[in-house]
Amino acid sequence: MKKLFAYVRLFRIEHALMLVFAVLFAEFLAAGADGIPLPAPAIILLSLCVPLFIEMGSFSLNDYFDVKTDKANKRLDRPIAAGEISPKTALVASAVAYAIGIAASLALPAPCIEIAVVFAALSILYDWKLKDLPLLGNAYIASSMAIPFLFGGLVVSETLHPALLAIAGVAAVAGLGREIIKSVEDVEGDVKHRKSRTLPAVIGKANAAGVAAACYFLLVPLSFAPFFFGLKMNTLALGLVLITALAFAVMGYSVAKDQGKAVLEPARKASLLSLGVGLLGYAAALI
């Protein structure tokens, strides 16, 4: 069981499941909006395997490249740094996961194959180099959190519903803020062991945290945008999205005020949970 939990942490299964949920939600929204049937169950299953396995491959490769930095930052939650999984094993797991993810995409519409291949390549580039550059790495993570909604929509329809584009925008801004916070947390180890030039290394931790806080404050009004672009509103959906907006407001204030680890780490973790609540709100709109 200990080894199993190590792989769960290596693959960041909670992230993978959120991506799977995002794709499935987008498929249902696109089908309902366009009044067309969902694809065959086998196609839906394959479409869910694509983000699941590419995400697993990306995070495995990330920990492979980051083992020295993770040790320096005392990230013992990372199984390679903690000695629970060897770097070679993680590299093999990454290659297998990428192969499965790309293979699963081959039965899908051409735009979905292109998205799978491009984002798999970008994730490798990110793990290797992009994450060391100011904002470029953060922007990639933001786009990787938005693309599942577009990917899911394109599995069902050749056109994208405006509400899906709005939801993708919410996910992108949330991902940008969250990733900047992570770069603030890890700046010392990143600079020392990867010679990184991340945003906090260039403009300082306080200023970088201010950019992250601005993203979170922007999410307060932006969270409601999908309702203005065709997503139906009901009490449950509105209530869950309101919770999300308030949570991001609180996190934005906290991050802007204090850049200590005791504030940044909980804010980073809570942002993923808050986004998840928002996604549940958008899903509730389909009821």
pLDDT band at 132 (very low <50, low <70, confident <90, very high): confident
**Does the pLDDT of residue 44 top 90, yes or no?**
yes
The rounded distance, in Å, linking the Cα atoms of 153 and 135 is: 27
How much is the CA Rg of the chain, to the nearest whole Å? 19
pLDDT on residue 64: 93
Q: For the chain, give the mean pLDDT.
A: 92
- pLDDT in the model for residue 174: 96
Res 271: pLDDT? 92
pLDDT bin (cut points 50, 70, 90) of residue 32 is confident
Neighbours of 78 (CB within 10 A): 23
Q: Where are the beta strands (DSSP E) in 153-214?
A: none
Q: Give CA separation, 58 vs 100, 128, 145, 180, 191, in Å.
A: 13, 10, 13, 18, 22
**Weakest-pLDDT range from 37-51, 110-124, 190-204:** 190-204
Domain boundaries, the chain: 1-156, 161-287
pLDDT on residue 120: 96
Specify the fold of 1-156: Tetracycline Repressor; domain 2 (1.10.357)
pLDDT band at 286 (very low <50, low <70, confident <90, very high): confident
Give the HSE-up count for residue 113: Cα atoms under 13 Å, Cβ half-sphere: 6
Quick check: 238 pLDDT over 90? Answer: yes
- CA-CA distances (angstroms) from residue 159 to 20, 41, 115, 203? 20, 21, 15, 40
Report the C-alpha gap between 282 and 91 in whole angstroms: 36
| pLDDT tens, residue by residue, 244-282 | 999 999 999 999 998 888 889 899 989 989 999 999 999
pLDDT by residue (tens digit) across 5-31? 999 999 998 888 889 999 999 999 999
> Are 184 and 202 in contact, with CB atoms under 8 Å apart?
no
In angstroms, the CA 169 to CA 165 distance is 6
Lowest model confidence (mean pLDDT) among 7-11, 129-133, 219-223, 253-257: 129-133
Least confident of 156-160, 216-220, 237-241: 156-160
For residue 215, what pLDDT is reported? 96
Instruction: Compute the distance between CA of residue 128 and CA of residue 217 in angstroms, rounded to an integer.
Output: 31
Helix axes 136-156, 13-34, angle to 10 degrees: 40
Q: Place 139 in a pLDDT band, splitting at 50, 70 and 90.
A: very high
Question: In the prediction, which pLDDT does 108 show?
Answer: 97
Across 14-18, 32-36, 191-195, 208-212, which has the greatest mean pLDDT? 208-212
pLDDT tens figures, 185-199: 888 877 877 788 889
What pLDDT band is residue 68 in, cutting at 50, 70 and 90?
confident
Region class of 12: left (phi > 0), else alpha (psi between -120 and 50), else beta: left
pLDDT at 196: 83
Measuring CA to CA, which residue among 201, 191, 213, 217 is closest to residue 258?
213
Higher pLDDT, 36 or 162: 162
